[in-house]
């Protein structure tokens, strides 16, 4: 798909979503990002960053998008990217059925999926790319693998000890309503199974326990226990 064609054919029917920085338009196997109006210094900075991102992604083999082309038109930056298929690894809508959350935990409790997820995450960080781990929407699951979107250039070295935590944080991110203590037990079983498999993967990759022990504020085991206890508390509150 030609970037000039996409820019010339923008319309609201193709709009996938928008945020403060960009609008995203759907062109089949590609998407076009349209920035807000940028000043010259901002444009120079954005052009430098997107050039670096394109160069890095072209040189590595991970499950992510590719930057196909980019250009500036009328003080806006347009970026043509390959479309990444999939849905967020967790649905963060408020009040969704607990079955949606539990079914996704079951799907992700798979060592092959987790092995690729962890390996890709490490490769991205080792090559100077930053992963926005603030929302499950930046990790798209297509049923077989997890794809990364919304990458940037790291402004400082990233502490890879927290990769395990960031993955678990997003896997456990939900606002669903848990129905009963049996569901809490099932969630606990899946989450601990996922964590155990992740520990195995880090060991397979030659890393020690420091890679799967810490969060920025404590231990991963404590974090998991706290989340499971919160689910249990919510169930008890509903029953009162």
* In the predicted structure, residue 240 carries a pLDDT above the cut 70: no
What pLDDT score was predicted for residue 155? Answer: 86
* In the predicted structure, residue 10 carries a pLDDT above the cut 70: yes
Task: Write down the pTM of the prediction.
Answer: 0.94
Instruction: Please name each of the domains of the chain with its CATH number.
Output: 3-82 (3.30.200.20), 87-239 (no CATH)
Q: What is the pLDDT of residues 137-193, one digit of tens each?
A: 999 999 999 999 999 999 888 899 999 999 999 999 999 999 999 999 999 999 999
Adjacency order of strands within the sheet including 87-88? 87-88, 139-141, 146-148
User: What is the mean predicted confidence (pLDDT) over 54-76?
Assistant: 97
Distance CA 233, CA 217 (A): 22
What pLDDT score was predicted for residue 20? Answer: 73
Tell me the residue length of the chain: 240
Alpha-carbon separation of residue 9 from 118, 151, 214 (angstroms): 38, 26, 48
């Amino acid at each position: 798909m030609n970037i000039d064609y996409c820019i010339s054919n923008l319309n609201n029917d193709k709009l996938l979503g928008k945020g403060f920085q960009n609008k995203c338009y759907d062109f089949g196997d590609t998407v076009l990002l349209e920035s807000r109006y940028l000043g010259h210094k901002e444009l120079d900075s954005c052009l430098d960053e997107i050039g670096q991102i394109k160069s890095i992604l072209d040189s590595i083999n991970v499950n992510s998008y590719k930057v196909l082309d980019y250009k500036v038109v009328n003080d806006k930056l347009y970026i043509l990217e390959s479309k990444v298929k999939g849905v967020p690894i967790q649905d963060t809508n408020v009040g969704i059925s607990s079955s949606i959350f539990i079914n996704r935990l079951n799907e992700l409790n798979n060592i092959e999926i987790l092995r690729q997820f962890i390996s890709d995450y490490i490769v991205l960080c080792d090559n100077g790319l930053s992963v926005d781990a603030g929302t499950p929407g930046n990790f798209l699951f297509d049923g077989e693998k997890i794809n990364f979107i919304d990458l940037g250039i790291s402004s400082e070295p990233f502490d890879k000890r927290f990769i395990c935590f960031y993955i678990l944080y997003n896997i456990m991110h939900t606002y669903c309503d848990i129905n009963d203590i049996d569901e809490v037990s099932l969630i606990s079983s899946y989450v601990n199974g996922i964590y155990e498999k992740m520990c195995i993967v880090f060991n397979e990759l030659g890393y020690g326990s420091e890679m799967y022990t810490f969060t920025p504020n404590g231990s991963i085991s404590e974090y998991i226990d706290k989340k499971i206890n919160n689910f249990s508390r919510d169930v008890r509150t509903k029953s009162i």
